[in-house]
């Protein structure tokens, strides 16, 4: 073409090369996702290579031009389809991530509630143990008091019998 590639600064050349490399990687990724897209691209590339090698020949015939245009349209449609599928998958991924985060939050809340309830249970068990000890003391005290009262009643009966 006659343009000097050295007229660009090294930074600009690196930027251009980086862009071209990313686009090439993206194209290869798209081709690997679809056998139809890959087949159409190979067919297109073969035709372009054949046309390039036969540069002496006049421009493409109508049928060849139509076939190339059809291939281009098919590639564009397949590309759009893959782009839409990619957007849909990305949306599903975001929804899944949000759902997962909500689930994690619920699990965290349940863990906190569980910890609180375990502490409540421990305190209630401690209160129950203390209540049992008090109950046992009251029973012992009650039995001792009952025995003392029986002894007094017996003493009163004996005294009452002696007086009569």
CA 8/CA 106 separation, integer angstroms: 57
Length of the chain (residues)? 164
For residue 79, count CB atoms less than 10 angstroms from its CB and return exposed for 0-12, middle for 13-18, buried for 19 or more: middle
3-state secondary structure labels for all residues of 87-112: HHHHHHHHHHHHHHHHHHHHHHHHHH
The gap between the terminal CA atoms of the chain, to the nearest Å, is 147
Task: Report domain extents, the chain.
Answer: 34-163
pLDDT digits (tens, 9 = 90+) for 109-151: 999 999 999 999 999 999 999 999 999 999 999 999 999 999 9
Phi first, then psi: what are they for 2, rounded to 5°?
95, -5
Percentage above 70 pLDDT, the chain: 91
Percentage above 90 pLDDT, the chain: 48
13 contact partners, CB below 8 Å, separation of at least 6: 5
Q: How confident is the model at residue 16 (pLDDT cuts 50, 70, 90)?
A: confident
**Which residue's entry shows tokens 């502490």?**
119
Q: Is the pTM of this model over 0.75?
A: no
pLDDT digits (tens, 9 = 90+) for 46-104: 887 777 776 544 455 788 888 888 889 989 999 999 999 999 999 999 999 999 999 99
CB atoms within 10 A of CB 10: 8
């Amino acid at each position: 073409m006659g343009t000097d590639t050295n007229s660009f600064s090294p930074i600009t050349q690196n930027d251009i090369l980086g862009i071209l490399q990313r686009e090439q990687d993206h194209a290869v990724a798209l081709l690997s996702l679809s056998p139809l897209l890959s087949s159409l691209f190979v067919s297109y590339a073969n035709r372009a290579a054949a046309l390039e090698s036969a540069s002496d020949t006049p421009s493409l015939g109508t049928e060849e031009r139509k076939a190339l245009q059809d291939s281009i349209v098919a590639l564009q449609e397949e590309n759009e389809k893959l782009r839409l599928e990619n957007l849909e998958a990305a949306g599903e991924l975001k929804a899944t991530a949000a759902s997962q985060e909500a689930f994690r939050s619920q699990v965290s809340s349940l863990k906190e509630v569980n910890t609180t309830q375990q502490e409540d249970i421990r305190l209630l068990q401690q209160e129950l143990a203390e209540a049992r000890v008090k109950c046992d003391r009251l029973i012992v005290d009650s039995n001792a008091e009952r025995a003392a009262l029986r002894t007094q009643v017996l003493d009163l009966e004996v005294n009452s019998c002696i007086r009569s």
